């Protein structure tokens, strides 16, 4: 087996992700969103409103970085912060109507980017790639332990 960097799982997954992200950024400009903002919309759409600490954990960014990101998103009308019942210092983050209405277009951009990556693959090959990556992900989650998403 070739042991060059081009055949290493970590390199391939990371580099493919980096390039996918760059293409996503290029395409998402027409929506007025960055990749980071799109990820916030995705987590809040799929998992529902949550506190800032949980969102920072899911995004794997520091709370201070998330605060700056959320400040921008709030100023653009994408999210709103509601005071948490139990802690005056904590906020629950929720999507606005504006964000919920644009989220399908965010997914369309993601689908367009995926189509670029899938060029030259048959539908069966695409399905196999997704299935195998899901298995790799499950294996890593199992190795890391509970609480990882």
* Mean pLDDT, residues 37-50 taken together: 96
Residue 130 forms part of a structural domain: yes
Distance CA 112, CA 34 (A): 16
Q: Give the model's pLDDT for residue 61.
A: 94
* Mean pLDDT, residues 94-108 taken together: 97
Residue 23 forms part of a structural domain: no
Residue with token string 């087996």 = 1
* Mean pLDDT, residues 111-137 taken together: 96
**DSSP element (H, E) containing 57:** helix 52-59
Spell out the alpha helix ranges (H) of 86-122.
97-117
How many CB atoms neighbour CB 114 within 10 A? 14
Residue 43 forms part of a structural domain: yes
- Collect all residues with Cβ–Cβ distance below 8 Å to 53 and sequence separation of at least 6: 63, 90
Residue 19 forms part of a structural domain: no
Question: Is residue 95 within 8 Å of residue 78, measured between CB atoms?
Answer: yes
Residue 9 forms part of a structural domain: no
How many domains would you assign to the chain?
1
Question: Is residue 116 within 8 Å of residue 72, measured between CB atoms?
Answer: no
Residue 122 forms part of a structural domain: yes
Residue 14 forms part of a structural domain: no
* Cα dihedral 134→136→141→143 (10° resolution): 160
Percent of the chain surpassing pLDDT 90: 82
Query: Domain residues for 116?
Result: 34-143
Answer whether residue 148 shows pLDDT above 60: no
Answer whether residue 105 shows pLDDT above 80: yes
Q: Give the model's pLDDT for residue 129.
A: 96
CATH of the domain at 126: 1.10.10.10
Residue 16 forms part of a structural domain: no
Confidence tier at 29 by pLDDT (50, 70, 90): very high
Supply the pTM of this predicted model: 0.83
54: tokens are 């949980």
């Amino acid at each position: 087996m070739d042991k060059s960097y081009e055949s290493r799982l970590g390199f391939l997954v990371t580099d493919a992700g980096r390039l996918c992200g760059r293409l996503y950024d290029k395409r998402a400009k027409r929506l007025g969103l960055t990749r980071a903002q799109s990820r916030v919309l995705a987590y809040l759409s799929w998992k529902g409103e949550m506190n800032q600490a949980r969102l920072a954990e899911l995004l794997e960014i520091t709370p201070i970085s998330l605060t700056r990101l959320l400040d921008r998103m709030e100023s653009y009308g994408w999210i709103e912060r509601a005071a948490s019942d139990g802690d005056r210092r904590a906020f629950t983050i929720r999507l606005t109507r504006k964000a919920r209405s644009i989220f399908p277009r965010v997914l369309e951009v993601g689908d367009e980017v995926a189509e670029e990556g899938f060029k030259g693959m048959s539908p069966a090959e695409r399905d196999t790639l997704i299935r195998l990556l899901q298995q790799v992900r499950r294996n890593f989650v199992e190795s890391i332990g509970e609480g990882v998403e």
